[in-house]
Amino acid sequence: MSPRSERTPLLADHHPRTSEDSLRRAEEEDAALHGGTVALAPRRTSGLREPTPPPLPTPVAPSDPSTGGPYISSSKKKRNLIFMVSDGMGPASLSLTRSFRQFTSSLPIDDVLTLDSHFWGTSRTRSTNSLVTDSAAGATAFSCGRKSYNGAISMLPGHRPCGTVLEAAKRKGFATGLVVTTDVTDATPACFAAHVDWRMQNDEIALQEVGEGPLGRSVDLILGGDRAGFDELGMGKNVTLPMLGLFAAADVPFEIDRRNMADVYPSLSEMAITALTALEEATKDSEEGFFLMIEGSRIDHAGHINDPAAQVREVLEYDKTFKIVLDFLEKSDTEGILVATSDHETGGLATAWQAPNELPVYNWHPAILAKANASAEYCSVLLRQHIAASPLEPHDALIDWINSELVVRRLGIPDAIEIELNALATNPFAAVNIFAKMVSMRARVGWSTHGHSAVDVNIYSSGGVGAEKIRGNVENTDIGRFLAAYLDVDVEEITKELEDKLKGEEVLDDMAVDEAGVGMRGGVG
């Protein structure tokens, strides 16, 4: 196969367009804009237990579908691998964002996102115990190349650990890194550097990520979560490995909010540039390159909230970061590849919404999303702060403040009705969903759930050596196996070492976890 065909996306044209985020920066917000964000509360379980998943078959070497034999790395040259995860981004998110960008930037209808020009295939996402996966099982498929149950952090049914591509890469001499916009112990980053039965074991995950686990330290660079300290890194030029950079108390604010606090919080693209620069410098004289996982974490959160205005900005920033990685690979003297996909879709997003007792409307309105300059999450924070500061404020005065300061000023909605405003005033802890619904209904954007869906998700790639093996429709585990094969690392060797070291450890009681509300059906993402 010619080199050109190896690097040609399924839908590429001869002149791929860039997709720099052309949205004008919103006006500087007042001092209140520097408040914190609200972490999404886990959904409680129903009390029902999932059946114990059957043991997986004995692992075999990843197979090449074209020959039936194992994936074989075709080159022993030094290589870099960047794996990007768009948590919760389904195909409809791309359509929503593409049309939003065309509208806000006055672009022609054939102008597409960078991701669109590098579409490679689709991935099936089910876990071992559910047709609808969570982020933990999804990321385990990527990190280990194995299916597991919802909630598993690189563990298989029966308290069996599975080695990860990152751990195997580190063992072979690669530099390694994780970049996220959420808590660094969240499911996706955790699955590359930790092994616990349930995703809510955050303290244990944190210890393992910094080297207090059975394998010692496997991650050289972790960036996630106040810009305090970020600028000192010099966009990667002033980094000494190992490094742990925590730039927020929890999640980095949604991009729609963060852009107005750019002096406080770094963006996904800035953290990605920093990581790429640092890892390239660290490996310039080594025989092996680096493995870097970059996650657009908060696309998922926007989906859980059903906030389309927040989601389109998250996808645009992810698309911008994808372009930055492509440019890095193009300029690098080291062979490298970019593979990007989602762990699942979140929200059951549809670019259409039919109001009750109305006929269908064959349209949706990106102008509504363009008018919003704050997320539903941030508006809910401001509302609760205001109520706490003015607990004796008359109801009518509170209604007026909500309408003028939040609904009109930040969401760009001039026609809020009395029932909406009353709901916000009387139930501020439900405000995040009320605000999001107000935007979605007016934009005619539909959602079927505040959880995940089972829809297949897209795969994107720079193309390159061996990338044909994940072209078309594949299992999410095929992506994980490809990552290990591309780096020519032995994940099974790491698995055997983990099994030996973890023998005899107590298995976390399933019922106790379910009763605590963090079982297979618990958690967000």
- Which residue type, as a one-letter code, is found at position 344? H
HEC sequence for 94-157: HHHHHHHHHHHCCCCCCCCCCCHHHEEEEEECCCCCCCCCCHHHHHHHHHHCCCCCCCCECEEC
Q: Is 135 a catalytic residue?
A: yes
Q: How far apart are CA 475 and CA 373, in angstroms?
A: 38
Q: How far apart are CA 4 and CA 49, in angstroms?
A: 51
Q: How far apart are CA 442 and CA 337, in angstroms?
A: 41
Q: How far apart are CA 161 and CA 197, in angstroms?
A: 9
Q: How far apart are CA 189 and CA 193, in angstroms?
A: 7
Q: How far apart are CA 147 and CA 161, in angstroms?
A: 12
Q: Which of 93, 123, 127, 135 is catalytic?
A: 135
Q: How far apart are CA 7 and CA 251, in angstroms?
A: 35
Q: Which of 84, 170, 164, 217 is nearest to 484 (CA)?
A: 164
Cα dist from 506 to 8, 147, 158, 207, whole Å: 49, 22, 11, 18
Q: How far apart are CA 257 and CA 267, in angstroms?
A: 11
Q: How far apart are CA 402 and CA 463, in angstroms?
A: 49
Torsion of CA 92, 459, 194, 496, to 10 degrees: 140
Q: Which of 188, 214, 400, 371 is nearest to 294 (CA)?
A: 188
Catalytic residues: 135
